[in-house]
Amino acid sequence: MRASEATTYYFNKAADQLELPDWVRKLLVTNKREVTVQVAFERDNGRSETVLGYRVQHDNARGPMKGGLRYHPAVDLDEVRALAALMTWKTAVVELPYGGAKGGIGIDPKTLSKREMERMPRAFVDQLHEIVGPDSDIPAPDMGTNHEVMAWFRNQWEKYHGFNPAVITGKPVEEYGARGREEATGRGVGTVAVKMMKRLNIRPDQCRTAIQGFGNVGSHAGKYLHEAAFPIVAVSDLSGTYFNAKGLNIPELFSYVIKNKGTLEGYSGAEQLPAEDLLGLDVDLLIPAALGDVITKENADRIRAKSIIEAANGPIDPEADEILAARNITILPDILANAGGVTVSYFEWVQNRQHYRWSLDRVRQELDRTLSDAFEQVWQESSTRNVSLRTAAFMLAINRVQRASELAGWLI
């Protein structure tokens, strides 16, 4: 199933519960705008290379559109469509005044020098600067991009439109970025994990946890949960799974990855297993924090975890979701679980508009409050309606977008 089909599948499950007519469904799932552009840039050897870039703007009923910019060789229009729609539902479920958008460039960032990495967003902005901006569509970092790319994007956009750091979020702190933005998605995963385990009557110190993916999101989630007394028994990346039944030394792993250029390869402080073994470990909580579609109908029966929190975007495909639900495995969906990043992006945008900077403590407090409130609303909706947490999250989000559209007169 393609990424956009999976998103539509989850949308329709919730829409069925809400008894939405077909014409409303069509309006809410149809993208406002889809743009494919030619991104031509110069390689360091002087040769020109051309790749495709995409920006999909899904919905602006609740405010400016918001969504990341990713570099990955697998980026295509279908993936970007799905992620743009997910951003609409994600911002709605945590009640941020945004709609959804997403962008991407089909290239492997590992093949680019730093100078080439800088040329990419500048060439992209040259093609798209008229349709993005602080009141229309606000990009942010995603897979394969970082705060430096955001700074280059902002600098190029301002050459056309003048000073306005609110055009993009995820910037370096020195360039009007928000304190705590780098840790935000992982910290948010940790916040909702603590809330969910409390609801499931599992004590933190008895919640054996495995994290698939130990990049920015997985490592910060692990750090937060370790500090909350969760025993993290396994983490993984492309180099393998690192396992300790009594709990890994997460601060040591966190430092090791920073010093080892972002990889766990060579870490000797734990038993090493094949990377794919992590998904089948007998744990209380599994956190997929890497790529999408890692749990499918082919491997769903291998999952032994009692609960799953989707730190990645779309890590469970719909067929696997049905299999896991039939086994009473509690799943907290991505549109809530990984909303910490866009939440702190919103805080950054607010600070840029106010020309005022918040402290790290205030950012963390506001993030924890926002996600905790959203979790409780989703949990209550799930309990009241007797639906999964995923369907409950989509129902709340769809209701909010529909209501905003009605108030604006778009559904008359």
Q: Please, which residues have CB within 8 angstroms of residue 162's CB and are 6 or more apart in sequence?
A: none
Sign of CA dihedral 263, 269, 272, 278: negative
Nearest to 298 by CA among 312, 280, 282: 280
CA dist list (Å): 264 to 251, 259, 328, 333, 344? 13, 10, 33, 27, 27
Spatial separation of the C-alpha atoms in residues 175 and 20, rounded to whole Å: 44
The DSSP annotation for 75-99 comes to: --HHHHHHHHHHHHHHHHHTT-S-E
**183: which 2 tokens?**
């840790």
Separation between Cα atoms, residue 190 and residue 226, nearest integer Å = 9
169 and 178 Cβ atoms separated by less than 8 Å = yes
Whether residue 214 contacts residue 243, with contact meaning beta carbons closer than 8 Å, is answered with: no
User: Quick one: 285 exposed, middle or buried, by C-beta within 10 A (0-12, 13-18, 19+)?
Assistant: buried
Which amino acid is it at 61?
A
The two structure tokens encoding residue 310: 């989707």
102 noted as active-site residue: yes
- Which residue type does 273 have? L
DSSP 209: E
Q: Which amino acid is at 166?
A: A
DSSP string, 101-160: EEEEE-S-GGG--HHHHHHHHHHHHHHHTTT-BTTTEEEEE-TT--HHHHHHHHHHHHHH
DSSP assigned state of 178? P
CA gap 222, 263 in Å, rounded:
15
Catalytic residue among 66, 90, 102, 306: 102
Q: Which residues are catalytic?
A: 102
